[in-house]
A and B are shown apart, each in its own frame.
Chain A
Amino acid sequence: MLRFNLKTFLICTAPALLLCLVSLDIRAQNTIVGVIKGTVTDLKSKEPITGVTVVEVNENDRQVNASVTNVDGLYTIKIASKNNRLRFSFIGYTSQTLPIGDKTVINVALKEAQSRDLSEVIVKSTATQKISNGFGESSPRDKIGAVASLSTEQLAGQPVTSIDQMLQGQLAGVQIVSNSGDPGGGTNIVIRGQGSISAGNDPLYVIDGIPIISTPYDNSNAAASYARINPIADLNPNDIEKIDILKDANAAAIYGARAANGVIVITTKRGKPGTTNIIFNTQFSFQMAPRPIPVLNASQYKVMRLEAEQNNNDINPSTNTLLPLVDDPTYQNYWLYQSNTNWIAALEKTGFTQNYNMSLSGGGESAKYNFSTSYTNAAGSMINTGFNRFTGRFNLDYTVSKKLRFTANIAFSRSSIKDYANNGGGTLYFNALVRSPAMPIYDVSYVDGSQLPNYMSLGGVNGFQDNPIAFANTVDNSSYSTNLKPNIRAQLTITKGLQFITNASLDFVGENAKYFQPAAATGVIWNSNQFNRVDTRDFERMQMILDNYLTYNVNLIPKLVTNLLLGNTFNTFKSNQLTAQAYATADAAMQTLGNSGGYNSVNSSSATETILSQFTKIDMVYNDTYGFNFTMRRDGSSKFGGGNKYGYFPSFGSYWRISNLKALKNSTTISDLKLRASWGQLGNSGIPNYAYISQFAQGANYMGLSGVSESNPQLNHLKWETSESTNLGLDASFFHDRLGLTIDVYNRLTKNLLYNLALPATSGLVNSLTGNSGGYVYTNLGTIRNRGIELNITATPLALKNFTWNTSFNIATNVNKVLSLPGGTVTTADSYGGFNSQIKEGDALGTYYGLVFKGVYSRDADAVVHDKNGNVIYELNGITPRLMHIGSETGNVYKGGDAIYEDFNHDGIIDDQDKVRIGDANPKFFGGYNNSFTYKNWGLRFLIQYQYGNNIIDGLRLQLESMTNANNQAQSVLRRWRTQGDVTDMPRALATDTRNILPSTRWVEDGSYARLKYVTLSYKVAQKSLQRIGIASMDMFFTANNLYTWTKYIGADPEIALGSNPAFIGIDQGLTPQTKGYTLGVNVKL
């Protein structure tokens, strides 16, 4: 067994290093022999052009000296040799290179470039921007697969602290859901539906050609919900030039086995030749506290609780449950229940975010650079939550000669997040909603109720962790992330059209976290293992990637442009983890492991994953009319064994530009019309490392002797999950690109689903059947289909001299269906409020089953059995009507005030047989509507993001209307059933008994919404007044976020975090909702 070691890495990287050595050819040439002056003008208008790069190049095309034209188009350049040449270049114009000779004045008239070459200039839509797939750029004219792009212009001026927020609502078929409203909370991105059950649905992120680590620390096995940082949040949004999303197999094929869920290709800003640009951005934002959910006050609460206990036959007022409710001054804890606390108000505040960004960019013909740094500090809308980030990035392009170019990028970030722990007892937002309002925040004297300095720690429903204010103020739950991403790329031109590129990169994500829970928060005493608890976590991940590839661009026959790509990739991913939990530090000020009195747990682990890939791609375009591509990637992964290590992922596609037909060629209406079709396969290997390896573990001891037993069998048949997609697309533009239209129709099948299957106990590998533990092995089974239609329209309805209006609209539908699943149905472990997660053949992932709620029995006599015609069924004696039962024939009897559930089989028993499909968390369609208006120096933009037709299980409402335990409840329970004959839709208060809160349609709500995501008003300060004080440009903006949401959803926020189980989505578990925010920003360019 040869592990990945330095030697191997050196052998593998040696070619790249050699290449670097032999190519070093830097010879300084700075002798000055003369000065050349001149003017650069536009050939057509004869106007002078400002900012034209003038470069002296030698016979090897190496840059020797450089200059730039001023406002009047004048330049002066010192030259090193009269044998050299001068090159004049400017964006939007065709470059010219002229010999120097004996001339001292060289005037040049530049010709405006053809429209085909203008693609670097943003005219009005993304259609003219190049598409990057990380390995190279291509023109959108030649697009075959499904790609959605966001241009610099669309990205600019959005007051976001994280790039995932930039994408929401902007791209058809890309569903983006925030995890919570807390700063640094992260988002889930799902491209074209969820296709995998156990292997993950996250897309691959690629920055400047390098796939990065994008998943946060896996919290699922941790005892507490530690604060964690999404590595994507470590990226500074200001650094981003553009984002391309590769949605289908054809577009993403070059990434093979890593791209089954799509690829997000991020291109960062690079230096451009010419003058040095210095840009400052500053933003200040206010984040409003979430919309309150009104809860009961102390006296309403006590009445409700008494009623609930009495309905459960707990009528002795001296029991421990009733004493706190009956206001008996002789009760020893009387004073602990005499407050009227608004817990939520004590927890909320206005959040404040400040964001500073500076960048420096520029360069000449041979070296270009872009340096940027940023600082973000966000304080959340709940006390003591926040996010801090410092980033730095340095991008360098260096042209050694005409044949050799280097690109080096280095990005650094350090961020920290401070969050609440939800240590098994729900979030603090949730605890603040449900904690008894009769209890005080601070402890009180038992004698007279006077306030004491310490927090009151008396347990509520979730025990001693319930005082949210004590937790928020005293518990330190912080995580720190250090992120370093250096990479270097060498590009060697061997002969005309043939290039060799080697690319070496490192991605390091180091995360350490601290959790300290002082006794002041919990009130536990010294002998508890929760007393002054300290947790420490260290998690380090490192990814090393080496790419080598050849590209060959050739015209084999006239009009046929062929591009060949052939390459390989080595990818090593290592992780190390250490976690420790200790308790009983001597003092709350001593917060490290060394001060602790004992350990609850200490664990460490490490893992290595390797991927070895080869790929080839052929692109052919004939006469701008017919396009064809073919991609084949072979991936080998350390996650699979034997003959299954390698997977082959082919893709092909083609396009036909209909608008090149003679009949359409001269049409003034249709500027471009193109049909695309493609097919391809991608892989997914998102399972734990070593899953296929037969493993034996220690710990099976007998008579004090150490034994070893099998912990995992060898999985010889385990292989890649394959995502196969077919895409049909139409690109059209009309009226000289004033109106653009893209339609894609796709069918995506995920085959050989990786699934963690439960084995029968007879395998000998199961620990307990009834405890459902052990005995799971990964296997390939079943098929899931996602299919849908995406439409994107961009238009410039108005383009006047002083006023323009640009608009874009996108809409997408995705229909998810489990096509086949051996066994028909599998139930996964997740559940919430009685709702279970299950995956069923024929259903979509995220389908809910439950009872049908039909109201509340008004009287006891109403809770009788009816036959299918609605007639009352009688007992055998013919007189007494048969009563409704719960669970079984001997179960409890329904009474007045209880929930009415549809008894589908009319057997008089409400049980699992009456559960039917009651909802689906997948939206029927979703998208966004974007508008921007400019009038002179003023700009106005707004974005509406929407989704329609999805259901949400309002779990928070389930908790706030349950009336089964000591939790405080929403004010809606004031309309509850109280006496015989009451007609209402709110069942009676009933302690302990869960009959009225069974999983049913009562909790399933319509989650459709449309949200005014942002409105931005911007003003560009006139250039002339600025130039006098040395400022090139300056603009200011004011943005309002989440200003208004149109929804029928009753809960705090219809944007519900997806969570980690694709079969159990759309459950509102009471996370911090999205809130309104206001931002003021200034951008200054020097």
Chain B
Amino acid sequence: MNYTHKNTHPWLGMLIICMSFFPIGCGKYLDQAPTNSLTKEQFFQTEADANAAMIGVYDGLQGCVTQFLAWGEFRGDLVTATVQSTTNYPYYEAFSADATTNISSWSDWTTVYKMIGRANIVIESVPGIVNIDKNFTQEKSDAIVGQARFLRALGYFYLVRAFKEVPLVLTASSSDDVNYRIPKSSSDVVLDQVEADLTFADTKVPAQYATDQATRGMVTKGAVDAALTDVYLWRGKYQQAVDASQNVLNNNLYSLVAGANWFSLFAQKNTSESIFEVQFDYKIQETNNLGGVSGAFTVNPVLTNYYSIEQDKTRSLNNTYVNAGSNVYWKYTGLSVNGTTNIGRPAGDADFIVYRLADVMLLRAEALTHLGVPQKQEAINLINTIRNRAGIAPYVGVDGTADGGLLESYVLKERALELAMEGKRWFDLVREATNDNNPDILISAVSQSRTVAERALIRSRIIDPRSWYLPILSIELNRNPALVQNPYYQ
């Protein structure tokens, strides 16, 4: 090669320079993706992705159970806080209006919104997979979206009952285009959405799944009907509650377990009575803190009195509770009972029953007490069915002409005996006190469950119905300037 620099270099140089300034094939140079997680573009492509996302929502549900239990039970009259729980005592169980300096984990709604957030992503993104994955039919999509909408509804239903007014988040937090700082909605707006979600789910989710565990552990039509019964009753829509509960009664998947096996509801998991039960299993590291949380409370004498007056052997000592020093609740910690030796289950292994048949029957009974004579008669029959199962005397000499309030008090008491420490009692008190415009039901029940020294203080506080709802954590208020503290705590 014998060229001269003068002739070639400038042109060649210019060419090289032009090439290097406008590189070909470097257009995607700046797109880098993580190797330990999926991006949204990589996810929501197949049926398997839809299922995995839905499992994520159920995982969120698992995280909610201690809050569900606490909100539904601990301010009620069936429990007595032990020393360990005094750190949370001031505003939580004592209804103190001072929630500014107290950081109580019982006002933390994080886990519930986490489940709702995951459900929102499923509701938003799963339908699009139908266009991508040929095997993923519209029916399959609806079935998954139905489950997600059920769980979202369930989350909001608990939130409304615990806080009354809450931010209604219905869009997925998938980007920073979403407004994360949204104000509270009224409880009616939230509950309308809950009804809409449940109504959608009612026709879309399967009646049952391949395994019995899944049929009790995942969302079914039975679970939706049970939830609808609960929601309608909460809103005083009694006829609709009756109609919804009829679907549950007609569903041959569900039957009451025999009285002799009553504790197997908790010890054996997923019995025939169970409608929707959040699944846990210590063997695969899916555990909860239900045992520890319920262990922070002992049985209030109110409940032991009920049991002894009714001579209820099926549901009292060594079933609902054991006398390990001082009447400890046993539903989440016991595995078997033989009268003398109590065998505990591995920590964190217990399921959390959201709805079971006896619960729905008593909800139906409560709705019926607000209707006509024949309906009230059915209410008595339903209560007596539950009492018969427990081996205690049925109500005789009362019929459909009895006063609705009396029948309602029967239901309330029966629910205490049957469902103590299942996260129902406080909501029962608030519901009846509110729907019947009779706050005294709640006030007298709660104040009587306290020590004599506390009664006056507690009564003076809960006479204000605003105290029945929890405060919003100050951390959350700081993070969201659009939020306003609940009125009782302002």
Contacts and interface: CB of A to CB of B under 8 A. Distances in A.
Interface string B9-52: 11011101101110111101111111111111111000001011
B217 A703 contact: yes
Interface stretch (B112-120, B233-241, B243-251, B361-369): B112-120
A704 B284 contact: yes
A340 to B, nearest CB: 42
A690 B55 contact: no
Contact of A11 (B23, B43, B60): B23
Given A610-B32, A764-B120, A12 B38 contact: no
B181 A760 contact: yes
B110 A703 contact: no
Contact of A702 (B62, B178, B483): B62
B268 interface: no
Contacts, number: 257
Contact of A610 (B30, B167, B173, B473): B30
Among A15, A614, A696, A717, residue most surrounded by chain B Cβ atoms (within 10 Å): A696
Contacts of A694: 39-40, 174-175
Interface in A14-54: 14-16, 18-19, 22, 25
A705 B113 contact: no
Given A697-B36, A702-B55, A709-B60, A716 B479 contact: no
A638 B30 contact: yes
Contacts of A705: 51, 55
Nearest to A492: B13
B414 interface: no
A312 interface: no
A19 B218 CA distance: 67
Contact of B32 (A25, A690, A695, A764): A690
Among A500, A702, A715, residue most surrounded by chain B Cβ atoms (within 10 Å): A702
B279 interface: yes
Interface in B248-294: 279, 281, 284, 286
A1030 interface: no
Contacts of B105: 770
Interface in B34-78: 34-43, 49, 51-62
A999 to B, nearest CB: 17
A710 interface: yes
Given A401-B5, A694-B175, A769 B110 contact: yes
Contacts of B393: none
A707 B55 CA distance: 5
B420 interface: no
B33 A1 contact: yes
B339 interface: no
A523 interface: no
Contacts of A1029: none
A708 interface: yes
Contacts of B12: 22
B37 A695 contact: yes
Contacts of B24: 11
Interface string B344-360: 00000000000000000
Contacts of B284: 701, 704
Given A11-B25, A548-B17, A709-B56, A768 B40 contact: no
B409 interface: no
B53 A760 contact: no
B29 A570 contact: yes
A380 interface: no
B5 A60 contact: yes
B176 A777 contact: yes
Contact size class for B? 35 or more
B182 A762 contact: yes
B34 A715 contact: no
B326 to A, nearest CB: 27
Among B21, B30, B174, residue most surrounded by chain A Cβ atoms (within 10 Å): B30
B451 interface: no
A143 B150 CA distance: 69
B34 A710 contact: no
Contacts of A695: 34, 37-40
Contacts of A608: 32
Interface in A1031-1075: none
Contacts of B37: 695-698, 711-712
A591 to B, nearest CB: 29
Interface string B448-474: 000000000000000000000000010
Nearest to A704: B284
A886 interface: no
A345 interface: no
B103 interface: yes
Contact of B59 (A8, A15, A611, A709): A709
A915 to B, nearest CB: 14
B21 A568 contact: yes
Interface string B95-115: 000000101110011100111
B114 A764 contact: yes
B29 A4 contact: yes
Contacts of B25: 7-8, 11-12
Contacts of B118: 700, 709-710, 764
Contact size class for A? 35 or more
Contacts of B103: 770
B57 to A, nearest CB: 8
B476 interface: yes
Contacts of B279: 702-703
Contacts of A758: 479
Among B32, B40, B54, residue most surrounded by chain A Cβ atoms (within 10 Å): B32
Contacts of A693: 33-34, 39
Nearest to A614: B21
A607 B33 CA distance: 8
Nearest to A571: B29
B59 to A, nearest CB: 4
A550 B17 contact: yes
Contacts of B412: none
Contacts of A700: 55-56, 59-60, 118
Interface in A487-510: 492, 494-495, 500, 502
A606 B483 CA distance: 40
A2 B10 CA distance: 35
B214 interface: yes
Given A702-B59, A823-B481, A708 B38 contact: yes
B24 to A, nearest CB: 6
B29 A716 contact: no
A779 interface: yes
Contact of A18 (B16, B177, B478): B16
A190 B174 CA distance: 37
Nearest to B168: A762
A766 interface: yes
B213 interface: yes
A110 interface: no
Given A494-B9, A693-B33, A760 B180 contact: yes
A765 interface: yes
B116 A701 contact: no
Contacts of A713: 173-176, 178
Contact of A716 (B53, B176, B182): B176
Interface of A: 1-4, 7-8, 11-12, 14-16, 18-19, 22, 25, 60, 401, 403, 492, 494-495, 500, 502, 548, 550, 566, 568, 570, 605-612, 614, 636-638, 645, 689-690, 693-698, 700-718, 758-770, 772, 777, 779, 823, 888
Given A701-B59, A717-B177, 16 more contacts: A15-B16, A15-B20, A19-B13, A494-B9, A500-B13, A548-B17, A568-B21, A608-B32, A694-B175, A697-B38, A700-B55, A701-B286, A703-B281, A710-B118, A762-B166, A764-B120
16 contacts: A12-B25, A22-B8, A500-B16, A548-B20, A607-B32, A607-B35, A608-B32, A693-B34, A695-B34, A702-B61, A707-B57, A709-B60, A712-B37, A715-B176, A762-B113, A764-B118
Q: Which 5 A-B pairs have the closest CB atoms?
A: A764-B117, A707-B55, A700-B59, A15-B20, A702-B58
